[in-house]
Amino acid sequence: MKKKTGSKTLVTLTTTALALSLLAGCGGNNSNGNKGSAGPEGESNSAVKTDGNAAAAADTGIDTSKKVELQFYMLGDAPKDLPVIQDEINKMAQEDLNATVKFNYTSWTDWDQKYKLLLSSGQAIDLIFTADWTQYQSYAKRGAFLAIDDLLPKAAPELQKFVPETMWEDVKVDGKIYTVPATYKEYVTNGFVYREDLRKKYNLPAPTDLASYEAYMDGIAKNEPDLMPMSLNSDVGNNLHYIYTELNKMVGALPYGMGVKYESPTTVYSYWGSDEQKEELKTMKRWADKGFIPKNVLNIKDTMQDPITSGKAASMFGDNPTRYNDMKMKISTTHPDWELAYYPFGKTTGYATPVHPIHNGFAIPKSSKNPERALAFYQKLVLDKRYNQLTQYGIEGKNYTVEDGYYKLVGTSTSNGFTREGMNGWAWRNPEFMLFDKGFDGVKAIFEELDKIQKPDLFLGFAEDYTSYQAEKAALEQVEKQYLFPLEAGLVADVDKGLETFMQKAKQAGLDKIQAEWTKQWNAYTAEKGIK
């Protein structure tokens, strides 16, 4: 009898132990996930470890005696051939820096949530992409990144020299450098994109400003009733409102209905509720009434470019030169009889701002275990031609060839495992090593035109600190979506009354407090940078 109980206990104990180990296994997996997946590459390369040390130590002033694996994070989707490229890079990095790199990608789906989680969960990351549209300034301000001022001369002295002093100055947040800016100069300012063949066919005016654009769409609506005059989707804030304000010489895509004109950057006013805004909303109402803006625009989930390339829409209110060129190239192969044309807003407004250095960069998060090595590796990525071209264009001969100095993709974009800039390496572009597609000459022509009227970007260097009005900000964003978006899409019958409701709700959410605080910060910024 006694023996029986004993064996029972044993069974129970074993079961418990098993269950426990299962639980432990689950927990362990989570924290070690990175290490586990990184294993094989590290092993295969450990042979060259010793002689790599000496070279690295001579190259940079950092301690490379311990072999490390760097975690590299980029947005978007990884190219198919990434493992091959990564192996190649690691062979070199092992030798130069006694380090290997794991390139990680977030995919474009919900990238913003993933990005936030990567930074706030405390996961060990050594290098991460930064941009104005990933909220670099506010993350830097809140301490998500490591200040690299002191690290630069030690770990990446050449990179420090390579990037112009003014750019280092521009990316500073509260007087510290948190990101390595890209030095490639481009324009991401908008311009009208329209079907030139249809314009010729019906003898319509070429869009050069708001009035002529409207006239162009009038003509399209009259002559091609089945065609959408303009391509739109539910993001009316970015695709109607901010393009409208860019055309109206706002200093940038300002939040909370703030208004700052490029000519007078120190004068801050409330755009919301102003006559200027009423004018915008009435224009949109008119466009909606004329059928330019679809009635269900807020439920459309297409991309902006697809309707153009597939011939469903005749124009786009605004897009940047590079994307316009992509559409043009696509159309030239699928519908050679169509013709796409572009008119940059710079020619209307009289100035164009090249991208601010903050627009593309790489930062070292606070959670990094090897900041020195990470920076040294990033220097290699930018300044070493082998590293740079390998990660931008893939393997020469296999992924691309160079013809008359032009980049040429081998095969098609679907068959090739690494297309041009397949790793989304916008941030480590090095103008000296860059290869361009022949079709890119069109973009270069636009850039040259804009170069003549270029003026510096005043807005992006501004790092907003919203900790004191975070609750109001979240509440206001809701009000905006619920009451302002329908107005901006011309869906509300009575514009004046709709605007009144919106303003009342916005004030309730704390608009005044936000605007006052933002104005204070903006004034401090313009004073600090000497903007007049």
Give residues in contact with another protein (CB under 8 A). Answer: 5, 8-9, 12-13, 15-16, 19-20, 23, 27, 112-113, 116, 119-120, 139, 142-144, 234-235, 294-296, 298-299, 301, 366, 466-467, 470-479, 481-486, 491, 505, 508-510
Least gap, CB of 449 to another protein (angstroms): 35
Vertex 254, ends 504 and 274: CA angle to 5°?
45
- Write down the least CB distance from residue 455 to another protein, Å: 29
CB closer to another protein, 432 vs 512: 512
- The CB-of-120 to another protein minimum distance in angstroms stands at 6
Print burial letters for 334-370: b (CB count within 10 Å at least 16), e (below 16): eeeebbbbbbbbbbbbebbbbbbbbbbbbbbbebbeb
- 217 sits in the region (left: phi over 0; alpha: psi -120 to 50; else beta) called alpha
In 3D, which of 449, 447, 391 has the Cα closest to residue 81?
391
| Dihedrals phi, psi of 366, to nearest 5 degrees | -55, -30
CA distance 293 to 235: 12
Angle at 244 between CA 242 and CA 245, to 5 degrees: 65
Cβ-based nearer residue to another protein, 36 or 122: 122
Task: Please identify, using beta-carbon distances, which residue of 8 and 438 lies nearer to another protein.
Answer: 8
Secondary structure (H, E, C), 369-399: CCHHHHHHHHHHHHHCHHHHHHHHHCCECCC
The minimum distance between CB 487 and another protein, in angstroms, equals: 9
Cα–Cα distance for residue pair 241/252, rounded to 1 Å = 12
Complex with another protein: residue 15 or 44, whichever CB lies closer: 15
Instruction: Give me the least distance between CB of 470 and another protein, in Å please.
Output: 6
Task: Give me the phi and psi of 430, to 5 degrees please.
Answer: -120, 110
Question: CB-wise, 265 or 294, nearer to another protein?
Answer: 294
**Beta carbons within 8 Å of 58's beta carbon, 6+ residues apart:** none
> Where are the strands (E) in 369-501, listed by range?
400-403, 406-409, 436-437
Comparing CB distances to another protein, the nearer of 107 and 482 is 482
Shortest separation between residue 308's beta carbon and another protein, angstroms: 18
Cβ 472 vs Cβ 514: under 8 Å: yes
- Residue 388 CB, nearest approach to another protein (Å): 31
Tell me whether residue 112 or residue 279 sits nearer to another protein (CB atom): 112
Q: Which is nearer to another protein, 97 or 495 (CB)?
A: 495
Min dist. Cβ of residue 362 to another protein (A): 18
Q: What are phi and psi of 145, to 5 degrees?
A: -110, 160
Nearer to another protein, 271 or 483 (CB): 483
Judge whether 225 and 217 are in contact, CB under 8 Å: no
Q: How far is the CB of 440 from another protein (least distance, A)?
A: 34
Q: What's the CA gap between 59 and 53, in Å, rounded?
A: 10
Q: Specify burial of residue 65 (Cβ count, 10 A radius: 0-12, 13-18, 19+).
A: exposed
* Minimum CB distance to another protein smaller for 288 or for 453: 288
Between 27 and 83, CB nearer to another protein: 27
- Taking the complex as a whole, how short is the minimal distance between the CB of residue 188 and another protein, in angstroms? 21
Q: Please say whether the beta carbons of 69 and 100 come within 8 A.
A: yes
Provide, rounded to whole angstroms, the least separation between the CB of residue 116 and another protein. Answer: 4
Distance from C-alpha of 296 to C-alpha of 332, rounded to nearest angstrom: 31
CA-nearest of 352, 319, 341 to 205 is: 341
Torsions phi, psi for 105 (to 5 deg) = -125, 145
Whether the CB-CB separation of 110 and 74 falls below 8 Å is answered with no
Report the nearest approach of another protein to the CB of residue 128 (Å). Answer: 13
Instruction: Name which of 293 and 427 has its Cβ closer to another protein.
Output: 293
